Amino acid sequence: MTISELIELLQEIMEKEGDIEVAYTYNDGGYPMMGEEYAGGVEVRLTPYGKAVVIW
């Protein structure tokens, strides 16, 4: 995913959901993402604190 694609996805989410928090998720091994990692997707999740945009 390029920066332009990520920005476009985030703009679409902001238009639909409003200006909400952004968070990252852990990888399949349960460790925080470190070093070079590629964004596989962007989605909105409901958390105990409200909605968050999750980049994974």
The residue ranges of every structural domain in the chain are 3-55
Helix-strand-coil split of the chain, %, nearest 5: 25, 30, 45
Q: What is the pTM of this model?
A: 0.59
Q: Where are the beta strands (DSSP E) in the chain?
A: 21-24, 42-47, 50-55
Distance CA 49, CA 56 (A): 19
Tell me the pLDDT of the chain (56 aa) as tens digits.
787 888 898 899 999 999 887 766 666 665 665 665 677 788 888 888 888 888 77
